[in-house]
Chains A and B, each alone.
Chain A
Amino acid sequence: MLPINMNQLNAEVPYGTLDLMVLKTLAALGPLHGYGVARRIEQVAAGSLALNQGTIYPALLRLEQKGWIKSGWGTSENNRRARFYSITATGKRRLAAEADSWARTVALVNRLLAAD
């Protein structure tokens, strides 16, 4: 068997899933700054995702441009000025649709892999 680099295998964030993760995080935890979102995703991933924390910002910008989240300046728990993001009503609808679509995709791929 070929040696497989686990790091390499897990490092890539599947296209589009980062948006979904960000939306879910904001829906679950309420308004959060970019640092908090990145931290939360890292915690949940528990080391299975090699994510540069900076990667979160283009995703946040993209979502904000689409109107799924909104942002404003605020003060963090340890008194630092930070930009807080929160999910919008459109974003919530979108999250439901995306989660549904993701579940179906995963189920499909699982069935394919299970069928010998």
Chain B
Amino acid sequence: MRTFVSRVLDLVLRRSREQRMEAEIKAHLDLLADEYVAKGLPRHDAEFAARKAFGGVDQLKERYRDRRGFPMITEFVQDIRYAFRLMARERWFTTVTVVALALGIGATTTMVTILYCMNVRGLPFDDAASLVGVTGEPTRAQGPQIPLAIFEHWQSTTRSFEGLSAEIGAPINLGDETRGTDQFAGIYLSSSGFALLRERPVIGRDFLPEDDRAGAAPVAIVGYRVWTERYGSDPSIVGRTVRLNGEAATIIGVMPEGFAYPVDSQIWRPLASFPAIQQAAQRPIRVVGRLAHGVSAEQAQSELGALLSTLTTVPEADRTRRTIVVPLTSPIWAR
């Protein structure tokens, strides 16, 4: 106990105790040297002899320090100081390390946020449980996606769904007369796409079936972020003509704050305005649907499969391809 108290005191009085040790060793060496001088050695030789008789001064100091205070704590503090000094000296290395850590933490946070939203919190849509993704057995040409021709057939014949919507993701450059051009993640989707999610613009109007036809006047709906950040929440944005990928189009609405379907999109356009979509019956698209009341994903899957098998206008391989209907809320790793 006494020893413990003494060591705690040492921790506080580190500097003065260090000085005491220095003084004590010096006194000893002086006394010893005096004795050698008295025996007739020259002063310089006497000091040397004294040091020799005394033994290693530095080892002694080490042993002394080990006995005083708590070496673990003292050494830990020393290590930390040393680390900071090194960091200050190796500026570039430190900078690179900090940047790498920042990027790593950022990327991880983003992934966790996305996975959390999709898998834990559930989708932020009304009655998200009835939302399903419709995919096909993956093929080399289509991946898990569905050719446009098959989607159109399903859309006009199915009874299992309240609605089916097709979508293609592509970046869209937004420019106008007064501001520079910005690129946003964009989605080309069926005119019923927002209605199917039960979302509607906060200002302006939703897409109409007429907007999603070949030759229709080009229109777009933008995200809340685009509206507030690029247009300063100017309500006259509705009806404004902008350039989308270099072509004139009219903004007809702004989606609610936080809406970025499917992940981080900020511009939505009718599927028909996707370049050359009319000539591409085989164009792979993503299909999302809302199940009709009381219909399960399995039932919808067999109905779509049956509808597909009777479609004679598509290649044999497409006709026999397995169709898969999965709730959008089911965790990705369960698919």
B-binding residues in A (CB < 8 A): 33-35, 38, 52-55, 57-58, 61-62, 64-67, 76, 78, 80-83
Contact = CB atoms under 8 A, between A and B. Distances in A.
Contact of B67 (A33, A34, A52, A61): A61
Contacts, number: 71
A82 B59 CA distance: 21
Interface string B1-12: 011001100000
Interface of B: 2-3, 6-7, 20-21, 23-25, 27-28, 30-32, 34, 53-57, 59-60, 63-64, 67-68
A53 B28 contact: yes
A83 B57 contact: no
A112 B34 CA distance: 46
Nearest to A78: B34
Contact of A83 (B27, B32, B67): B27
A57 B23 contact: no
Given A53-B55, A54-B55, A67-B2, A80 B34 contact: yes
The majority secondary structure among interface residues of chain A is helix
B31 A82 contact: yes
A110 B60 CA distance: 34
A58 B24 contact: no
A58 B27 contact: no
Contacts of A34: 24, 27-28
Given A33-B27, A78-B34, A80-B34, A57 B2 contact: no
Q: Which 5 pairs across A and B sit closest by C-beta, in order of nearness?
A: A52-B55, A54-B55, A35-B31, A54-B60, A82-B27
B24 A65 contact: no
A57 B60 contact: yes
Residue among A35, A58, A82 having the largest count of chain B Cβ atoms under 10 Å? A35
Contacts of B20: 83
Nearest to A56: B28
A55 B67 contact: no
Given A33-B31, A54-B56, A62 B67 contact: yes
